[in-house]
Amino acid sequence: MLLNFQPVFLFILNISFKAGVMVVLILTIKVLFKDRLPASWNYYLWLLLILRLLLPDSLGSQLSIFNYLDINPHEAVTLQPSSLQPNTTMTISNNNMDVNINGENVNYLKSFDSHSRKSNFYLLNWLSFIWIAGVLLISIAIYRANRKFAITLKKNSKPCMDSSLLEQLETCKQIIGINRRVPLMTTSAVCVPSLYGLWRPRILIPPKGVESFSTEEWKHVFLHELAHLKRKDIGVNWIVNILVIIHWFNPLLWLALRKMREDQEIASDYLAVSSMNKQQSQEYAAVLIKWMEYFQKPPLTVHSVSMLDNKRYLKRRIQMIIQKRASYKWSLVGMLALALLAAVSLTSAKAEEEVKSEDVRVKEVVTKTFEALQHFQDADTFLSHTIDVRYSQPVANKLAADVFANKGLNPNTLIDFKIEKIEKLNVGEYKAYLSKTYSDLGKLPVYGIPVVKRDGEWLVVIENIEFVPSQFWLKNKDSITNSGKVEVLAVNENAAVIRRK
């Protein structure tokens, strides 16, 4: 039996679309302000994107940009029932309700397939499996890369014994405001200084850099790596990488990951130089340039952040370090940009569906279903609002097509109905109690009809229901009820309503 990942995949598609819209808005803000915002506010914009991905069920708002975007994934991918065939030949036996459709015998009262609508979603099922496969493959690749780096580090690292560097590290910890122990390790596994480890963070430095940099230059290195620790950047990167793996099919999120890491480095630079004067900031920038001589592409690991992980945006980092904007004016602008972005993209559309209570929507679908059934007016509407638990979807479609097409041959036609009560049974499950009047049997007793929510749609359940005329019921009540194969739903002077088990 194949697993059905459709609901999860549709849920992920919905979140991914909203996150993609948010990425476009963030990039637009960054283009408009052109690095005028303080580095920390540039980075906070990306943290809102993480919230968007982690908290998909948000409050509805008139300010939401999604009021203007139609993003119902269920409507976008749900396939409609196959076309009806009005010329199908059909004969009905009034004694046992057997139907012959083009030579195939089908019993009205036999349950064939309780999930008949599943046949409409084969394409989406395949896309769901491709998504799951992508998540697994990328997860395995990242795990292997991290495992390989961890093994290499274990074999080729040792504590740094240089007393001057250890003293400088302790001084930098006091400047940044970190009290926890942070070991200093030398290893050939890295080419530039890096902070490594989520739970037991340590600073990794390449052996060849120990003698090439002065103690004052190492101060700038340590301040940068400790700034990453202070800002908990490795933990943030863990969360972001997991989210990007889940949404691997969305190129905008891969772009967002790259841009966020860039702003993360700049925000750490900003924290590191926040207490420096202009001359010291220039020296800090010079250290970055000097490390370029040792730069190689870092390994694919989420456990670490490096002082220099991408030389393509080094020029921007140096400009931001030297300019070091921290005016109240631009901080206020950053706050306003953050608040506006949250208002328009962290909220959901104030949909009309939210205004209506569930029982109102249940009443609507029941009304549409039985209005379509009245005098056999509209087969398409009837099929689109029902789920038949007796037959497979093709058989149900054929049967409905013939009943509607040959309505003149049916002596018992629904001429009127009234919804007496709507009762909630469970999440996504209701029962609608109807009184119905038929041309042959007259007014039937009130009985409950199940209504369920499937893939975002409310559907009336078509069950094995029989209407037994009162005279036949009075004569055969005992034999019918004692068989154990029926459930009596309601009885009045005109008929009994029973459900075949």
65 pLDDT band (50/70/90 cuts)?
A: low
Beta bridge partners, 388, equal 462
Residue pLDDT, tens place only, 186-206: 988 888 888 998 889 999 988
Q: DSSP alpha helices (H): ranges in 34-121?
A: 39-54, 73-77
What pLDDT sits at residue 352?
Answer: 46
Q: Could you tell me if 38 and 320 are in contact, meaning their C-beta atoms sit under 8 angstroms apart?
A: no
Per-state percent for the chain, helix, strand, coil, to nearest 5: 55, 20, 30
Note the pLDDT tens digit of each residue in 71-128: 544 443 333 333 333 333 333 333 333 444 344 444 433 333 334 344 445 677 788 8
**Domain limits of the chain?**
1-87+110-355, 357-463
Which of 3.10.450.50, 1.20.1440.230, 3.40.50.800, 3.40.50.300 is the CATH number of 357-463? 3.10.450.50
Q: What is the CA radius of gyration of the chain?
A: 34
- Sequential DSSP letters for 257-284: HHHHHHHHHHHHHHHHHTT--HHHHHHH
- Alpha carbons 342 and 403: distance in angstroms, whole number: 54
Mapping DSSP to helix (H, G, I), strand (E, B) and coil, where does residue 69 land? coil
DSSP H or E stretch at residue 495: strand 495-500
Pick the closest to residue 351 from 75, 67, 10 (CA basis): 67
d(CA 493, CA 501): 24
Whether the CB-CB separation of 305 and 237 falls below 8 Å is answered with: yes
When pLDDT is averaged across residues 226-236 and rounded to a whole number, the result is 91
Shortest CA distance to 22 belongs to which of 485, 438, 379, 344?
344
Collect all residues with Cβ–Cβ distance below 8 Å to 73 and sequence separation of at least 6: 10, 13, 14, 17
Write down the residue that tokens 């637009």 correspond to. 28
pLDDT band of 289, cuts 50, 70, 90: confident
Q: In this model, does residue 476 exceed pLDDT 80?
A: yes
What's the mean per-residue pLDDT of the chain?
Answer: 78
CA distance 407 to 376: 6
Residue listed under structure tokens 């029941």 = 366
Q: What angle do CA 264, 267, 269 make, to 5 degrees?
A: 110
d(CA 373, CA 460): 12
Higher pLDDT among residues 392 and 300, named by residue: 392
Nearest Cα to Cα of residue 343 among 54, 71, 51 = 51
Contact 255, 62 (CB under 8 A): no
Residue of 173, 283, 183, 190 lying closest to 227 (CA atoms): 173
pLDDT digit string, tens, across residues 119-165? 445 677 788 889 999 999 999 998 898 888 888 888 888 998 888 89
d(C-alpha 77, C-alpha 123), whole Å: 9
Terminal-to-terminal C-alpha distance of the chain: 25
C-alpha distance from residue 431 to each of 59, 138, 363, 446 (Å): 29, 45, 10, 12
More confident residue, 208 or 257: 257
From the list 344, 403, 315, 271, the residue with the least C-alpha distance to 61 is 344
Range name among 26-35, 87-96, 336-345 with the lowest pLDDT average: 87-96
One DSSP character per residue, 306-330 reads ES-S-GGGHHHHHHHHHH----HHH
Residue 329: burial class (beta carbons within 10 Å; 0-12, 13-18, 19+): exposed
According to the model, what pLDDT value does residue 108 have?
A: 36
396 with 117: CB under 8 angstroms?
no
Contact 308, 292 (CB under 8 A): yes
DSSP letter string over 359-423? HHHHHHHHHHHHHHHGGG--HHHHHHTEEESSS-HHHHHHHHHHHHHTGGG-S--EEEEEEEEEE
Contact between 439 and 411 (Cβ < 8 Å): yes
Q: Residue 409: pLDDT band by 50, 70, 90 thresholds? A: low
Residues 439-450, mean pLDDT to the nearest whole number: 90
Angle at CA of residue 81, ends 77 and 85, nearest 5°: 155
